[in-house]
Amino acid sequence: MSRKGNCLDNAVMENFFGLLKSELLYLQKFESMEHFQLELLDYLDYYNNRCIKTKLKGLSPAIHRQQAPSAA
């Protein structure tokens, strides 16, 4: 839970939802809720497994997570 009055606590999620809106929601019309759900699942797969992030040194989030040392 974020701290009251601290917008930086939600910065990562705000960025993600901004990308989701601009890359998926605003670009197409959905025929039904099922169509939207399928497109959303496809976008989440793309974002987590195929989308290359400069901040992650050219890796996708999933690959970066696999390579990160686990906290013991």
The reported pLDDT for the residue numbered 51 is 78
Q: Tens of pLDDT along 37-63?
A: 999 999 999 888 887 777 777 877 788
Give the CB-side neighbour count of residue 40, counting CA atoms within 13 A: 11
**55 in a domain, yes or no?**
yes
Largest CA distance in the chain: 47
- Boundaries of domain holding 17: 9-67
**40 in a domain, yes or no?**
yes
Phi, psi of 40 (to 5 degrees): -65, -45
**35 in a domain, yes or no?**
yes
The reported pLDDT for the residue numbered 18 is 92
**2 in a domain, yes or no?**
no
Q: Residue 30 in contact with residue 39, Cβ under 8 Å?
A: yes
Bridge partners for 59 per DSSP: 53
Q: Tens of pLDDT along 1-30?
A: 567 767 677 888 888 899 999 999 999 999
**14 in a domain, yes or no?**
yes
How many domains are there within the chain? 1
Separation in Å, CA 37 to CA 19, 25, 41: 17, 11, 6
**44 in a domain, yes or no?**
yes
